[in-house]
Amino acid sequence: MKLLTKVKNIILVHGFWADGSCYNEIIPTLLAERYEVIAVQNPLTSLVDDVAATKRALDRAEGNCILVGHSWGGFVITEVGNDERVVGLVYIAALAPDAGESMVDLMSKYGTPSPHFQEKNGFVWISKEGVDEVLANDLSEERKALIYTTQTAPSTSLTEVKASLPAWRNKQSWYILATNDKAVPPDLQRDLSERMGAKTVTVESSHFPMISHPKEVLEVIREATANS
């Protein structure tokens, strides 16, 4: 099968309590369609560290790239996306800050933090109840257990770090809005996508649309590669 697209490189960036394997439902299909795919393993220790990890992935790719960011990963691709090799941005239930905005700045207008977060040693863990109620209420019990067991805890510093120049001001963007999300409020997602002028697709999903609605996510990514 010949891939008819202007962009063949796709870099996938994960968010809090996850790692690159959260994209496992879509990676095999993208590879079968002959895309070059890299799933970043963010350390979640600082914005600088996550940006550096994503830039290392960008350096491995040959040619132009689409960046895909889920949740906190949206914050990261908003920074890295200013690289001239990035030609399009796909946000999945993601944060898309403007210059000078932090996660707290964005989230505090839409509710209070979940009681299921547990801070220890400068990092934030999520309880089993939190995975069930906040992150993955529409996933199988086996998948919820896997998310809890393999979670990558973020540094508390990530909630307050400020964004710099947002790439979405200069790059084409797409947004997958999860209407049943309990982690990133759907109203916030809607406001961010409208502010960006992103082409928006809505799915009835919890916080992980790429797991619960992989077909819809794949369609958006294909469109981004074909139109960037």
- 3-class secondary structure, 173: strand
* 58 contacts 85 by C-beta, under 8 angstroms: yes
**CATH number 3.40.50.1820 given to 9-111+160-227:** yes
Asked if residue 223 lies in contact with residue 198, where contact means CB atoms within 8 angstroms, the answer is no
Q: What is the pairing mode between strands 117-120 and 86-92? A: unpaired
| pLDDT per position as a tens digit, 100-129 | 999 999 999 897 777 899 999 999 999 999
Q: What is the DSSP letter of 135?
A: I
The residue among 156, 129, 165, 163 whose CA lies nearest residue 144 is 129
Q: Which two tokens stand for residue 217?
A: 């996510």
Q: Taking residues 178-193, what's their average pLDDT?
A: 97
Note the residue count of the chain: 228
Which residues are within 8 A (CB) of 218 and not within 5 positions of it... i.e. 6 or more apart?
26, 29, 30
**CB 35, CB 10: distance < 8 Å:** yes
Per residue in 142-174, pLDDT (tens digit) is 999 999 999 999 999 999 999 999 999 999 999
Q: Give the start-to-end residue ranges of the domains of the chain.
A: 9-111+160-227
**What would the mean pLDDT of 64-69 be, rounded to a whole number?**
98
